[in-house]
Amino acid sequence: MFSNNGLLFLQAVTSIHAGSGSELGLVDLPIQREKHTDYPKIESSSLKGAIRATVMAAVENTAQASRVQIVFGRESAENQSDAQAGAISFSDARLLLFPVKSLRGVFAWITCPLVLKRFNEELKLYRQENSLLTIPSGEGACVASNTLIVNPRAEKKQVVLEEYTYSVQFTNECQELASQLAALVFEGIDNGFSDRLMVLPDDDFVDFVTLSTEVNARIRIDPNTGTVQPGALWYEENVPPETVFYSYCFAGNSRISNQEMMKADEVLSFIKQAEVFPACFQLGGNSSLGKGILRRIWR
């Protein structure tokens, strides 16, 4: 039974490959996606496993090490009856902001009303909060500043994302949303987020998060011949850097008997400690290539 929770934002520092396994389509190794929306996601099992590995490495040989099994659960290869669930759980990491190349301003962070409404509904459900994100009204695209607009002096404002041109409005609602998200996700970071936010219609957002991910060709070289090994060419999909996800961490009282008992508040406080769960951690494949680095932000 979970009685407390924390809101966790995850920003991709490098490309992320949280894989869904092999497929028969054009991309051999696709990323994890929601079935009903096709939005990229990070499944809770992948997220919890990566966080557990990070925490174990961080607290090894410290006084905190004994708490890892209490918080994350105990697995016993010798006697399965000794296995017990942990006191912590994570929801799937859902997409909040996605980066797209822009003709002006280098790139834009895009989102859409459906994503924002879903985020607000989860805030009300899990946190009982009244301070919800502002959702811009209207059916078209809107921006938070003139940074992305290709013709700021023209009467008709336009933004070019990839090869698509959008007529946009500069609205106070979008500016307020940019300020809210900047405070939640990028507090203390000077990355120009408030100038790069763009809210797209729901259907257009789906197109970008489906078609604008990174797809890289990978090969394996035979060390003896210096040529590509037969059958060792594959295509791999990645979530691009700057993508922002959010997840909820649910905490309950510890369940493992004959060990230190921890209340839900203690469990959540434990995982929020910077020396326990560092500000950056690795998730997904290709860690030896520098992929999968995420920045975590607690709220």
* 120-132 pLDDT tens trace: 999 999 988 778 9
The tens digit of pLDDT for each residue in 59-76 reads 998 889 889 989 998 766
**CA-only gyration radius of the chain, Å:** 21
Q: Cα–Cα distance between 8 and 248 in angstroms, integer?
A: 6
End-to-end CA distance of the chain: 21
DSSP string, 11-71: EESS-B--B----SSS-SBPBPB-TTT--BEE-HHHHHHHHHHHHHHHHTTSTTTTHHHHH
Q: What is the pLDDT at residue 24?
A: 61
CB contact set of 150 (below 8 Å; sequence gap of 6+): 103, 104, 158, 159, 160
The tens digit of pLDDT for each residue in 248-287 reads 999 999 877 666 789 999 999 999 999 999 999 999 988 8
The reported pTM is 0.93
The tens digit of pLDDT for each residue in 131-176 reads 899 999 988 999 999 999 998 888 899 999 999 999 999 999 999 9
Whole-number percent of the chain with pLDDT over 90: 71
